[in-house]
Structure 1
């Protein structure tokens, strides 16, 4: 398998209930509102070859409030002195074949998938020329693909698309389908710590121990380079669930609707600047981290 030349950034998302949306109190606001604090959104631009001169395309397909999401991301990137920002609100599969949209993603330096419903992403983009262009550019160019919440969950070859947290370890509750396929051998869940989704990831990994489970907290992200090296970014926590040394599970024996047992699942926690090698399955913890003016920095030589 070839080593991707592009960079993949997956982010756990954030919910802000102090909305400006009137009575729509339960709507998830655009995730950039928390990104400024520890610089996740800025890191996306820093990792782009053209940095502030980048052409950014925001894909709001997963969102139920695409107009608002698009405006908020334009304002967020403008705040970072990025001026070339477009919004692609692709609502159906035929839109993904629009020649104008295909040309825009061919010219973009950064593509950002917003939050919402990951099943919309897989069902609208799966098997399209649009998705193939993104994959080809990611494999062969210095190209950044970023996704938050649903956009992160859909980034892997396999994705979780439903499952109640409090019933996750009941056989059949967690549903998995094909994702967008930017990265193999992992499965990603988001809003992980805040919504208590450990059961969903344990179930997913128990059903396929060859996958590494990645649970992204809010304001937590991973920068993935060369398809194998993951660096934790943002102020939040990322939980890793590794089933390769799992001793036993009864997931294949019990009937649908029955509780599942798992023995010796390995769990690790990543915080900012920690790195994980997907080839070696090794976590390297950053030993020295300082905070200056509310921003995390690494100490020289640490």
Structure 2
């Protein structure tokens, strides 16, 4: 009986320890593993680096989506702290580009409040547009929900999934959240290339072979993306500047808009070095692509 009580106490302590560990914030989340296979989705991705979105870029988005008279657009503004305003201005841009306002729906989805009508609308939409804001806010309402699955279904069936700024960041499977572990006070400047500094969480996973950064050249985010590609050598790291987009179809992409796209590749996984928390590496490849230029994913 005494041995039984001791075993019970040990099991209880182990259980409490596990629960405690689950509440501790870790620097690297356990992201879903799996072999990256050829992209067989019928749809396209239109990934915008944020900033001012010109009428011509919106028109190119509409053209990419191949909208017909009976098609409609769904706007998802959950990344914004003011989702109603974000939805209003996104809709305004589409209307000014010639879209019938009756063909535009906006859903401020909540994780526990997703109606059958909303989910069905996302699945049947020809264009799903994710606004800017905070990518963490968006994923907090979408991850592991019917809406997450509906976005993937729409993409597989031929819809264009578009996003700007935070809406661009969520396209990756490994998503840059914007949080620095070693410099908690956000300043907008990334002055170091350090190991285990940038938080990565699970995004939508529509672009599993790459990690997206936005506002890239304008906000001088090269140090951040260098750190990311050093620590994730199996991914292409793609920095999209403001007023610029990449249009992804299958395993290829083309640059659209007004500025450049930076692509970083780390072909030598064994070249990664750390010293006193600093990251180092050799033979990092960089491409600077102009509007109209294509690249492989």
TM-score, with length taken from structure 1: 0.78
Q: Distance in 2 between matches of 1:267 and 1:3?
A: 27
In structure 1, how many angstroms separate the alpha carbons of the residues matched to 2:279 and 2:268?
A: 17
Match of 1:66 among 75, 83, 108: 83
Distance 1:115 1:220 in 2: 14
Partner of 1:45: 62
5+ long unaligned stretches in structure 1 = 15-32, 279-302
| Aligned twin of 1:239 | 262
Equivalent in 186, 204, 219 of residue 210 of structure 2: 186
How many Å separate the matches in 2 of 1:168 and 1:151? 26
Q: Could you say which residue in structure 2 is the equivalent of 1:12?
A: 49
Task: Report the counterpart of residue 124 of structure 2 in structure 1.
Answer: 107
Find the residue that maps to 2:254 and give its secondary structure.
Answer: strand
- Aligned pair count reads 250
Q: Is the 8 A contact 1:10 1:152 kept in 2?
A: yes
The 3-state SS of whatever aligns with 1:218 is coil
* Aligned mates of 2:192, 2:221 — CA distance in 1: 8
Give RMSD over aligned pairs.
Answer: 1.7
Following superposition, the deviation at residue 105 of structure 1 comes to 0.9
Rounded Cα–Cα distance in structure 2 between residues aligned with 1:124 and 1:159: 15
Deviation at 1:236, TM superposition (A): 1.3
Sort the Cα spacing of 1:9 and 1:190 in 2 relative to 1 into closer, same or farther, 3 A. same
Q: Deviations over 1:161-203 (max 9, x none)?
A: 0236424512232111111111111000000001111111111
C-alpha change, 1:103 and 1:168, in structure 2 (3 Å) is farther
Does the CA contact (< 8 Å) of 1:165 and 1:199 recur in 2?
no
TM-score norm. by structure 2 comes to: 0.79
Alpha-carbon distance in 2 for matches of 1:49, 1:220: 20
Does residue 1:249 correspond to 2:275, yes or no? Answer: no
Q: Structure 1 residues 144 and 109, CA, compared in 2 at 3 Å: closer, same or farther?
A: same
**For 2:211 and 2:45, how far apart are their aligned partners in 1?**
14
SS in 2 for 1:210: coil
Tell me the SS of whatever aligns to 2:176: strand
Residue 5 of structure 1: how far off its partner (Å): 0.5
